Amino acid sequence: MTEPSTPSSAALVRLVAGREISSRIRDKNFIISSIVIVVLLIGGIAFQVIANSGADAARLGIVGEAGRLGPAVQAQGEAVGVDVEVAEYDDAAAARAAVEDGEVDAALLDGTGSAPELLVENRDPTLEAVVGGAVSGLAISDRLLAAGVDAQSLPAVAVTPLGDAEDDQQRVIVAIVGVAVLYSLLILFSQFVAQGVVEEKASRVVELLLATMRPWQLLAGKIAGLGALGLGQIVLIGVVATGSALAFDVVSVPGELISTVVTVIAWFVLGYAFYASVFAVAASLVSRQEDLGSVIMPTTILLVIGFVVAIQAAGDPSGTLATVTSYVPGLSPLVMPVRQAAGEVAAWEVALAVVLMLVAIALIVRLGGRVYAGALLRTSGRTKLREALRAGRA
């Protein structure tokens, strides 16, 4: 009779990972949180479209010879970012009634030799400035023509942009939204890891698990399982957000949008490996959920600092603070995507930040594995870090 073969390390890690995935994917709180994040993203994009659809838009009625001002008013409005819709009326009475009924925001009447008159129900300084600029421009053109000068023959200034500021701004906004989602998921899934460790210690399930596998195999399986679940969730969020942004025509650079989303997802992998390891090791030091907050607080503060610095980096991506923190392991997954979106990062800088993160993750896994092994079976109160390290070496 042959003895059953001992499962390999990879098989044990896959077994633990599958257990974590199956237990979390059936968790109602996890499902609800995933749906809420997706709905909030789509709702936020839709709200932006609705809010911007009516912003900086004005309706202007024109009468008589003032009708030639229509194209001039629209051109003046485009110059200052105001969309002016022009409607023509046969006489002043019809235009006045349209203003009173709210059909138009203002009506421009022919002054019959004098200055045109603008009728308004509620004063709008922006619209008044647009109309005034158009009227003044036409008046200057008429006087130049009367003096024998053709305004069309005057030289115009050619503007050559050296960069596309609008596209850069869109990429930075996408990166900030992505980093906000990344920040939320890092906290969520790292806490899942920490809570799972404490639950297993409190219920003594960990004693049964360690009878068949080593502590590092249990830790690796737990991190890998929840990491795969988190990666799937952030990919789903990225696909939904990208599809919604393109469907609603929120962005004009789909290629840059997709590359920014991919960058954020890649940094999630590194950030999760870092924070999940730290959270798991910290959680192994306590035996009650009530004590969990105190041991993971320092790491949570580091996450908050990274998120705050990332927001500041959006305004000054080449500043000293953003540059330095984009290399610091733990902060780089939140800061570097924003700097990359702003176009302020060389390829070697990204490579250096990735290498530093990988080195930090390797050190945490090596050192944290000892702490995890030494503290996992200690279920009486809180274990000191030095005691866990000493027990891990033994």
Q: The CATH number of the domain where 142 resides is what?
A: 3.40.190.10
Q: What is d(CA 130, CA 353) in angstroms, rounded to the nearest whole number? A: 49
One domain for residues 302 and 187: yes
One domain for residues 367 and 221: yes
One domain for residues 367 and 259: yes
One domain for residues 127 and 233: no
pLDDT at 307: 86
pLDDT digits (tens, 9 = 90+) for 133-188: 777 766 666 666 666 555 555 555 554 554 455 555 666 777 777 788 888 888 88
**Residues 340, 348 contacting (CB under 8 angstroms):** no
One domain for residues 92 and 169: no
Confidence of residue 351 (pLDDT cuts 50, 70, 90): very high
Residue 180: CB partners within 8 Å, gap ≥ 6?
Answer: 307
pLDDT digits (tens, 9 = 90+) for 244-268: 777 766 665 566 677 878 888 888 8
User: Does 48 map to a domain?
Assistant: no
Q: Which residue has the tokens 């909030």?
A: 40
Rounded to 5 degrees, φ, ψ at 161 are -70, 135
One domain for residues 113 and 201: no
Nearest to 389 by CA among 286, 273, 285, 295: 285
Q: Which residue has the tokens 């997709």?
A: 258
pLDDT above 80 for 241: no
pLDDT at 247: 72
More confident residue, 236 or 47: 236
Q: What is d(CA 161, CA 164) in angstroms, rounded to the nearest whole number? A: 7
Q: What is d(CA 144, CA 148) in angstroms, rounded to the nearest whole number? A: 6
One domain for residues 202 and 137: no
Q: What percent of the chain has pLDDT over 90?
A: 3
More confident residue, 368 or 151: 368
Residue that terminates a domain, selected from 122, 153, 184: 153
Residue that terminates a domain, selected from 111, 130, 153: 153
Domain of residue 88 covers 57-153
Structure tokens at 278: 């730290």
Residue that terminates a domain, selected from 100, 122, 153: 153
More confident residue, 100 or 329: 329
Highest-scoring range by mean pLDDT, 68-77, 118-127, 368-377: 118-127
Q: Which residue has the tokens 């053709």?
A: 150
One domain for residues 102 and 208: no
Structure tokens at 164: 């596309």
How many domains is the chain built from?
2
Residue 368: CB partners within 8 Å, gap ≥ 6?
Answer: 219, 277, 278, 280, 281
Q: Which residue has the tokens 């109160």?
A: 381
pTM metric for this prediction: 0.66
One domain for residues 263 and 362: yes
Q: What is d(CA 184, CA 44) in angstroms, rounded to the nearest whole number? A: 16
One domain for residues 324 and 348: yes
pLDDT at 24: 79
Mean pLDDT of 192-217: 73
pLDDT at 392: 57
Confidence of residue 385 (pLDDT cuts 50, 70, 90): low
Q: Fill in the amino acid letter for 356.
A: L
User: Does 193 map to a domain?
Assistant: yes
pLDDT at 1: 44
